[in-house]
Chains A and B, each alone.
Chain A
Amino acid sequence: MNTAALADLCYRMADDELILAHRHSEWTGLGPILEEDIAFSSIAQDKLGHAQALYAIMHAHCGEPEPDVAAFMRNAEQMRCSHFVELPIGEYDFSLVRHFLFDAAEYVRWTALVESSVEPLAKLARKIHGELKYHLYHAQTWMVQLGAKGNEESHARMQSALREAWPYALGMFEPGNHEQALIDEGISIGEVATQERWIATVTELLASSTLEVPSSTEAHLGGRKGYHTDHLQPLLDEMTEVYRIDPSAEW
């Protein structure tokens, strides 16, 4: 098994899940209605669970640190998340659009990973398929509600958030340093193919929301190489504050 390539893929995926889970959790207690607050918080918990499972795979198969250490003891330059997940939560329109674009990508990525040559990854992909289906269903239901079934203001806000989010969303598909090895060894289908499937999926779903797919092809890159927005380090400081007081503590 090419452990360097596997770790490269898993860090990109896990760091995205971890950071977006934290961003989503910032809505806990502040969500627009009680039921949605609980639903969004549950989705954040699911994402944290996916990150933990990926860190555990790297710990077991790639000689990487334990999940807690991997999640909480790295600084911004060591993170491999995309700029998309680092952005502040903004208003709920932006958070919903990010949730939609991210989870559509998650859905196509993990659906392909069911066929991965790395059995622990394929097994995890099969296990969480239902969760991913629900996350996309949750996002899509809101996109239709606020796009096709809402009013002029809700439609305009969703379209505007979509335009703002789009170049960052394209940054999710920035490849890592072992892209060809990942494809050649059947570990993943690669970022180009993942992006193609994602475009097809969001184009179809956005049509039912009467929202336009932005035409911009500009992508915010750098996250997969350790170059991040200024939003990441403050998030890490806040997220890891308690853990770093005493990393050896038993919780």
Chain B
Amino acid sequence: MIRCQSKPGVLATIVVVVLGCALIAEAAVALEPGDKAPGFSLPSLDGKGDVSLQSHRGKVVWLDFWASWCPPCLSSLPELEELRKQMPAGEFQIVAVNLDEDKKKALKFLARNPVGYPSGSDPQGALPDRYGLETMPTSYLIDRDGVVRVVHKGYRDGDMKKIRAEVRKWLERK
């Protein structure tokens, strides 16, 4: 646990502490393209079984971190569902990780906007630490060998076009 605190009047100290914090934080894991995606197995959000990354090895995986409190995450969900329908099921898989502490809120959203891909539940936020998540939503394109190829941060109109192109590109690489 790292705390950034400062004393009044000692501005130099502030700067040092802040930069120190920043450097230390930067040294922590922040997954980048080329890194191996850490495997995981989480209880499913709907309480039916587990959701794991490694069980989809051999497929191109789109790993999406989302939460009901994150508006851009919510706007990306229906579009990800469209992407899932457009891609070959045997070769492409979307795996979602939900970070809501109160699972009911996430389930309520999914009840109104159902998706055909699994969501694991990580209310304690252990997995974001391992992935070095910095913002929400963040998604990772993981290739057939489990290597991160694309890190996609945030979500706005038009992003899906780029995502679709990336997925197609990595699906073509057998």
Determine if chain A interacts with chain B.
no
